Structure 1
Amino acid sequence: MRVSEFYNLNRNQGTLDFVDVDTVKDVPVYIDPSTIRHLTDDWGKECIRMLTTFFDSVLDAVRHKDKSRSTYLLGNLGEPNETHLGISKGASAGRGFGKWMSSEFASKLAQSQAAKSGLIEDLEDTAFFIDKVGKDVISDVTTNIIRGPLIAYTHQMALAFDMPLINGVDSGPVWNPQSMKWENGLTDLLLPDGKKLLLVPKAIVRHDLHLSQSDYYRNHLVPRLQSEEEADPRSRLVTVLKSGKRKVYRREIEEKYGRKKPDVRRETLERPDVYRHFKEIKSRVAPDVMSHADLSAASDTPPPDYRELLQAILDTPVGNADANRYHARVEALLTALFYPSLIMPEMEHEIHQGRKRIDITYTNHAKGGFFDFLIRHKVPVQYIFVECKNYGHEVANPELDQLSSRFSPLRGKFGILACRSFKDKDRFLARCRDTSLDRRGFVVALDDDDMSRLVDDVTAAINWTPPATPPKQPEVPPRIEDYPLLRERYRLLVS
């Protein structure tokens, strides 16, 4: 039974920010630390600090041959069954996971030439240079290190969806980046079927690591080996083409050098610049986030039904009595529509020491499309704010001023005002433009008709197919994250 079913959330994976795991079985996806390193919000920065301080401590202990310290650091890692991610674990990550980490992993790390030479800098590097370490072990270790932030995230989601937290549950070892120690304590946690559950943001999970060994071997190491062989006049791997060009085929490289992990490690240690260049390139490219389709396939759940989510909003009676229902339904639709650009929705987010609240606050994680366009045009948009007004009367200046008063250069200066309808939409859009020209921020107003337009645009992008007869000027496929309506409204604010 999935989390959404166990807690009767009336939601599916598309409208949830966390991975909607089965409370018993595992979902075959993994937490990728490289993905976390590209998060820019406060939660992501805390995770990055934990990953960095922990692994730096491990490397420091190993290099100084401080066995007791490395045993302490690695021995507190356990198999994190609370997330229900991955697949059935092998011996190294099974019941003896902590013991294996503190003995065999520590020993291999201490003996590793890659560690001594500085090639191993981050946790994910160990997947290239340490035997028995793959995406499953990297994911498990990462889960242990960021257990504290995952507990905080679970609290946030439990509060948002009224999932009952149980008091006085053993937290398990939590890494403290200040004291550089593991700490245990009691906390509030979800306990479906009496077992601990940690929710994981779907923005940090993948099928494979961003630093993919196959990508490195195929696109970086093999080309280097080919160029070396082609430049060697004595090479027996070279085929001379009719043009006189010297050519070495991939299969020849694989036969001579091998392609298994020990082979890749051996050749990389002789050419460390290849791996460093690979990491530099990957650090500049944001990892792909799993799409709705990817997550649906991995978790065997249906993709979001945007029409159904829209209809729920349209069917909501206007008025204060149904304000909370309207708020929740708007969040469900926007969370599905704007993923993966906007993530980690926080409901009733307090600012100014609780004196003000924001209905919905999203973290801007856009790597393309409209919300990335705002970043590139220097609009402060670390967070995107949404205010929901289920009014039966006209939305006017007070509501506009309420939203713009939540803006700041640090939090963000772009928001969406969701409402049911306007008596004079053009007049209100002009008010939004006035707010922009007064440098009080950018407010895009969306009524029910606009929500329908958003759904139409996203649906059209999903269903787009190239024409049977290609035109003279090839059509550019629409992208889900472009949101043409938002671009139009933004242009009105700045024109």
Structure 2
Amino acid sequence: MRISAHYGLNKNQAQLDFVDVDTTDDIAVYIDPSSIRRLEGMWAEECQILLATFFDTVLDAVRHRDKGRVSSLLGKLSEPNETHLGVSRGKSRGRGMGKGMSNDLAEKLSSSQAAQTGLIEELEDTALFIEGVGKDIVSDITTNVIRGALITYTQAMCDFHGIPTETVHSGPVWNSASKAWEDGYTDLPVASHQKLLMVPKVIVRRSLHLSKEDYYRNHLIPVLQDEELDNPASQLVQTAKSGRRFVNRQDVRNFHGDSKPAVVRLSLERPEVYNHYKQVKRLAETAPLTNEQLAESGGGLPPDYDALLEAVLETPAGRDYATTYHHNIEALLSALFYPSLSMPIKEAEIHEGRKRIDIRYMNSSQEGFFRWLRQHHVASQYIFVECKNYSRDVENPELDQISSRFSPIRGKLGILTSRSFKNKDLFLKRCRDTALDHRGFVIALDDDDLQQLVNDVKRSLEPPTPEEIETGDPIVRPSRHEYSLLHERYERLVN
């Protein structure tokens, strides 16, 4: 039974910011530390600091040949069954950091030339150079190291959805300041007699961003082929009928080896190759799993955008239904804007609680409109949403309300939803006045606009038709993350 069903949330994966895992079994997705490094925002920065300080401390102990310190640091790593990520047979029990694995890893790292020489710099590098380390181990270690941040996130999600918690043992928590493990008690949800840690959808993947096979096949082998061609004594060089000299890729693999020790040796002899690979991978960002992919991995249903929109449209206008409208808008926007926007908080407090924001999202975009904002130097670490279920027109006071929540640190772009506008053009002009006065950018959306956003997203997800496949001339569909309506409204504010 998934978390949503266990707690009667009446929401599916598309409406939830966390991975809606089964409370007893695992699902085959993993936390990739590379995905965390690409996020912005305070929560992501905390995770980045935790990961950097922990692994730097481990590597420092390795390079000082302090095996006792290495064993002490890695000895606290355990099976993070409370996230229910990874692969196990039947009941979740963790196939990654099993019993004895932390001692084995400590021994392998301590004796690793890759770790001692600086070839290994980050946690995910171990999956390429340390025997027995793969995506499951890297995910488990990451979970252990960022457990404190995951506890904070889980508590926020429990508050958001009204999920009850109990006081339980926290498990080891890494302290980035003291560079030591701590533990104690904290409040977490408990299901099936086991505490739960919720994991944001934006940091899970089906595989790691760094891949030994990708590195070997696409970066090491071409270099080795060139070296063999330049070597007059090479036994791997062949000559084609045309006279062209070539080296077969499989021959290179057979001659040099492709085990992890072989990859370490070859990389230490050619450190520039791995450095280049890392640079290439930093530029080639991996997209978070879609709601459809997550639903498939967890055995759930894909998002029903029409049903989410219908819930908004059927909400009667007026103060009596303001809370329902707020709830339905959040469900719709969270599904529409994922993964560009994540980690929603309702009634987010600012100015020491003197002001509140209906919904605050973290801008976690890697492409599309919300990424474009950051690239064009629009303060947008967070995106604010104000929901107005009025039976009358929204006017200047409501516009001033949302703009007063802006700041260069938090962000200066928000979305104001309203049921309809008697004079929509006039209100859009008022939004432009706010922008021209340097008070921030407010994008106004009514029910018709929400319908257009839903239509655009659905169209972007349509598969090619049989006719398009047959002719090989598919229709160009809008990008899932482009949100052309938002872009048009923003352009109207500034031009």
Same fold (TM over 0.5): yes
**CA displacement 1:388-415 (0-9 Å, x = unmatched):** 0111111100111100000011111110
* Counterpart for residue 371 of structure 1: 370
* Counterpart for residue 413 of structure 2: 414
* Counterpart for residue 434 of structure 1: 433
Deviation at 1:470, TM superposition (A): 6.5
Deviation at 1:196, TM superposition (A): 0.5
- Counterpart of 1:8 in structure 2: which amino acid? G
Distance in 2 between residues matched to 1:254 and 1:302, nearest whole Å: 43
1:8 aligns with 2:5: no
Distance in 1 between residues matched to 2:321 and 2:436, nearest whole Å: 34
* Counterpart for residue 296 of structure 1: 295
Q: What secondary structure is seen at the aligned counterpart in 2 of 1:158?
A: helix
Deviation at 1:106, TM superposition (A): 1.4
Deviation at 1:376, TM superposition (A): 1.8
**CA displacement 1:47-106 (0-9 Å, x = unmatched):** 0101111111111222223233222211111110000000128xx9669836431x3211
**CA displacement 1:245-280 (0-9 Å, x = unmatched):** 322222222222233333323322322221121112
**CA displacement 1:297-333 (0-9 Å, x = unmatched):** 2112111110111001011111112111111111111
Deviation at 1:140, TM superposition (A): 0.5
- Counterpart of 1:172 in structure 2: which amino acid? G
- More off after superposition, 118-127 vs 244-253: 244-253
Does the Cα contact within 8 Å between 2:387 and 2:416 map onto a contact in 1?
yes
Q: What secondary structure is seen at the aligned counterpart in 2 of 1:361?
A: strand
Q: What secondary structure is seen at the aligned counterpart in 1 of 2:345?
A: strand
Does the Cα contact within 8 Å between 1:464 and 1:478 map onto a contact in 2?
no
Q: What secondary structure is seen at the aligned counterpart in 2 of 1:428?
A: helix
- Counterpart of 1:398 in structure 2: which amino acid? P
Does the Cα contact within 8 Å between 2:77 and 2:144 map onto a contact in 1?
yes
* Counterpart for residue 100 of structure 1: 101
Deviation at 1:475, TM superposition (A): 5.7
The residue correspondences of 1:108-147 to structure 2 (distance < 5 A) are: 108-147=108-147
With over 3 angstroms needed to count, the CA separation of the structure-2 counterparts of 1:276 and 1:98, relative to structure 1, is: farther
Deviation at 1:230, TM superposition (A): 1.9
Distance in 2 between residues matched to 1:493 and 1:317, nearest whole Å: 30
* Counterpart for residue 245 of structure 2: 246
Distance in 1 between residues matched to 2:449 and 2:54, nearest whole Å: 47
Does the Cα contact within 8 Å between 1:464 and 1:477 map onto a contact in 2?
no
Deviation at 1:237, TM superposition (A): 2.2
With over 3 angstroms needed to count, the CA separation of the structure-2 counterparts of 1:96 and 1:140, relative to structure 1, is: closer
Distance in 1 between residues matched to 2:307 and 2:213, nearest whole Å: 40
Does the Cα contact within 8 Å between 1:37 and 1:48 map onto a contact in 2?
yes
Does the Cα contact within 8 Å between 1:93 and 1:137 map onto a contact in 2?
no
How many equivalent residue pairs? Answer: 489
Does the Cα contact within 8 Å between 2:460 and 2:480 map onto a contact in 1?
yes
* Counterpart for residue 149 of structure 1: 149
The residue correspondences of 1:252-401 to structure 2 (distance < 5 A) are: 252-401=251-400
With over 3 angstroms needed to count, the CA separation of the structure-2 counterparts of 1:228 and 1:476, relative to structure 1, is: farther
**CA displacement 1:15-61 (0-9 Å, x = unmatched):** 11110000000010111111111111100100010111111111122
Distance in 2 between residues matched to 1:8 and 1:35, nearest whole Å: 30
Deviation at 1:288, TM superposition (A): 2.1
Q: What secondary structure is seen at the aligned counterpart in 1 of 2:414?
A: strand
Q: What secondary structure is seen at the aligned counterpart in 2 of 1:199?
A: coil
**CA displacement 1:409-446 (0-9 Å, x = unmatched):** 11111100011111111111111111111111110100
Distance in 1 between residues matched to 2:99 and 2:172, nearest whole Å: 12
- Counterpart of 2:409 in structure 1: which amino acid? L
- Counterpart of 2:450 in structure 1: which amino acid? M
* Counterpart for residue 169 of structure 1: 168
Deviation at 1:115, TM superposition (A): 1.2
* Counterpart for residue 19 of structure 2: 19
Distance in 1 between residues matched to 2:284 and 2:354, nearest whole Å: 40
- More off after superposition, 255-264 vs 355-364: 255-264
* Counterpart for residue 199 of structure 2: 200
Q: What secondary structure is seen at the aligned counterpart in 1 of 2:174?
A: strand
Does the Cα contact within 8 Å between 2:59 and 2:116 map onto a contact in 1?
no
- Counterpart of 2:66 in structure 1: which amino acid? D
Deviation at 1:469, TM superposition (A): 4.8
Distance in 1 between residues matched to 2:196 and 2:29, nearest whole Å: 16
Does the Cα contact within 8 Å between 1:77 and 1:98 map onto a contact in 2?
no
**CA displacement 1:311-360 (0-9 Å, x = unmatched):** 01011111112111111111111111111111111111111111111111
**TM-score, with structure 2 as normaliser:** 0.95
Q: What secondary structure is seen at the aligned counterpart in 1 of 2:353?
A: coil
- More off after superposition, 232-241 vs 370-379: 232-241
Q: What secondary structure is seen at the aligned counterpart in 2 of 1:387?
A: strand
Deviation at 1:242, TM superposition (A): 4.7
* Counterpart for residue 66 of structure 1: 66
- Counterpart of 1:203 in structure 2: which amino acid? V
- Counterpart of 1:36 in structure 2: which amino acid? I
Instruction: Tell me how large the CA RMSD over aligned residues is.
Output: 1.9
Could you list the runs of 5+ residues in structure 1 that have no partner in the other structure?
none
Deviation at 1:122, TM superposition (A): 1.1
Does the Cα contact within 8 Å between 1:370 and 1:481 map onto a contact in 2?
yes
- Counterpart of 1:373 in structure 2: which amino acid? W
1:483 aligns with 2:477: no
Q: What secondary structure is seen at the aligned counterpart in 1 of 2:442?
A: strand
Q: What secondary structure is seen at the aligned counterpart in 2 of 1:481?
A: coil
Distance in 2 between residues matched to 1:184 and 1:443, nearest whole Å: 44
